[in-house]
């Protein structure tokens, strides 16, 4: 009944024209579905749409010439498939393995690639999906709260130029049992009642308003209802972005029709995914695993639809960096 009450309450707050638009949407008229079609090809270098066909590449792929920057390219230039010795079919199979949450070893076997390649692909794919995740906008009723992960330098030891800033600890364990220390990575998370979610590493230790802004400023649509615990930093965020704030005392459960059950469950699933599935992940890769969790466990649509949408996005998204060495990223991306 709670969600129904929420809907009624939100519906009553709408203007007459918004109410009409809402009813049209409920009836299935003019549905807004995510486009499955590939974006039109634009210049791989300057993004101009002013391009012409320009013969074929050695592999028989269509080449294009940009009339603005005079460079030539194919649909694959600077995408994940560019210069890859493996076909799109193998990459697609790998994305399928990822959507099932398969381990590196298992997905490598499934796709006939080695484990090193499988690890690199995992992060290339997730890096590529970063820009899609950046664009996610949460509206309606949005529940938000921070969660924390122990700082982890897993995997960094092998790099000769890396020295641990402190003694290494067991995965998932916190060095301080009370309060929040600077050895904990803060991850503010938000999820709306439709199940769309967002989460990003912002800082070490307790977050300030400035830290929370990094996640919430651009990703919550104005006039949405923001439901949080009693952290006063959210007052500032809500007033800056014209959000209706509902704060619930921790342990209190609910306030009227609102509660923070969805964000609490989100945190549990995220912890399971990171700590039990992968036995903890290095902090430098954590943002990628956050995206993976959002895509696999939260974004809208059937598994097949999601797989299709993500694969199409990944295969057409062009990286701006020339080299893409996943292991060289900074240890603590805050
Ligand atoms: Zn160009």
**Distance from the alpha carbon of residue 125 to the mean position of ligand 1, in angstroms:** 24
What pLDDT is recorded for position 32? 39
Residue 219 sits in the same domain as residue 72: no
pLDDT at 86 over 90: yes
Domain that holds residue 296: 141-300
pLDDT digits (tens, 9 = 90+) for 195-219: 899 999 999 999 999 999 989 988 9
Residue 57 sits in the same domain as residue 159: no
**Distance from the alpha carbon of residue 97 to the mean position of ligand 1, in angstroms:** 35
pLDDT at 170 over 60: no
Residues bordering ligand 1, an ion, CB closer than 5 Å: 43, 45-46, 48, 66, 68-69
Residue 182 sits in the same domain as residue 262: yes
**Distance from the alpha carbon of residue 120 to the mean position of ligand 1, in angstroms:** 29
Residue 50 sits in the same domain as residue 171: no
pLDDT at 177 over 50: no
**Distance from the alpha carbon of residue 65 to the mean position of ligand 1, in angstroms:** 8
In a domain, residue 183? The reply is yes
pLDDT at 129 over 50: yes
Residue 63 sits in the same domain as residue 209: no
Lowest mean pLDDT among 11-15, 44-48, 63-67: 11-15
What pLDDT is recorded for position 6? 63
**Distance from the alpha carbon of residue 314 to the mean position of ligand 1, in angstroms:** 21
Residue 295 sits in the same domain as residue 161: yes
Confidence of residue 36 (pLDDT cuts 50, 70, 90): very low
User: What average pLDDT does the structure give for the chain?
Assistant: 84
What pLDDT is recorded for position 264? 93
In a domain, residue 195? The reply is yes
**Distance from the alpha carbon of residue 102 to the mean position of ligand 1, in angstroms:** 39
Lowest mean pLDDT among 12-16, 105-109, 150-154: 12-16
The pTM (predicted TM-score) of the whole model is: 0.79
Residue 292 sits in the same domain as residue 156: yes
In a domain, residue 66? The reply is yes
**Distance from the alpha carbon of residue 61 to the mean position of ligand 1, in angstroms:** 18
**Distance from the alpha carbon of residue 68 to the mean position of ligand 1, in angstroms:** 5
7 burial level (CB within 10 Å; 0-12, 13-18, 19+): middle
């Amino acid at each position: 009944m709670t969600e129904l009450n929420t809907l009624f309450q939100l519906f009553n707050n709408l203007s007459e024209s918004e109410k009409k638009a809402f009813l049209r949407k409920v009836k299935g008229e003019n549905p807004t579905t995510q486009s499955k079609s590939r974006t039109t090809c634009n210049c791989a270098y300057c993004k101009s749409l002013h391009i012409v066909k320009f013969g074929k590449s050695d592999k028989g792929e269509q080449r294009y010439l940009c009339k603005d920057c005079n460079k030539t390219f194919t649909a694959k230039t600077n995408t994940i498939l560019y210069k890859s010795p493996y076909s799109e079919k193998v990459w697609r199979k790998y994305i399928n393995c990822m959507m099932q949450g398969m381990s590196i070893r298992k997905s490598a076997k499934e796709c006939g690639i080695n484990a090193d390649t499988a690890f690199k692909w995992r992060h290339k794919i997730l890096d590529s999906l970063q820009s899609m995740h950046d664009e996610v906008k949460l509206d309606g009723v949005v529940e938000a709260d921070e969660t924390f992960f122990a700082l982890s330098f897993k995997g960094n030891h092998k790099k000769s130029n890396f020295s641990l800033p402190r003694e290494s600890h067991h995965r998932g364990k916190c060095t301080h049992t009370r309060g929040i220390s600077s050895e904990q990575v803060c991850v503010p998370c938000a999820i709306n009642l439709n199940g769309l979610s967002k989460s990003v590493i912002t800082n070490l230790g307790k977050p300030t308003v400035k830290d929370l802004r990094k996640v919430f400023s651009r990703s919550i649509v104005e006039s949405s209802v923001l439901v949080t615990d009693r952290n006063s930093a959210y007052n500032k965020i809500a007033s800056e972005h014209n959000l209706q704030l509902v704060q619930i005392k921790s342990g209190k459960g609910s306030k009227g029709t609102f509660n923070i059950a969805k964000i609490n469950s989100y945190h549990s699933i995220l912890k399971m995914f990171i700590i039990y599935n992968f036995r903890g992940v290095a902090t430098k890769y954590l943002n990628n695993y956050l995206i993976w969790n959002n895509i696999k466990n939260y974004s809208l649509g059937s598994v097949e639809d999601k797989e299709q949408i993500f694969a199409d996005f990944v295969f057409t998204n062009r990286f701006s960096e020339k080299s893409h060495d996943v292991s060289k990223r900074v240890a603590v991306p805050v």
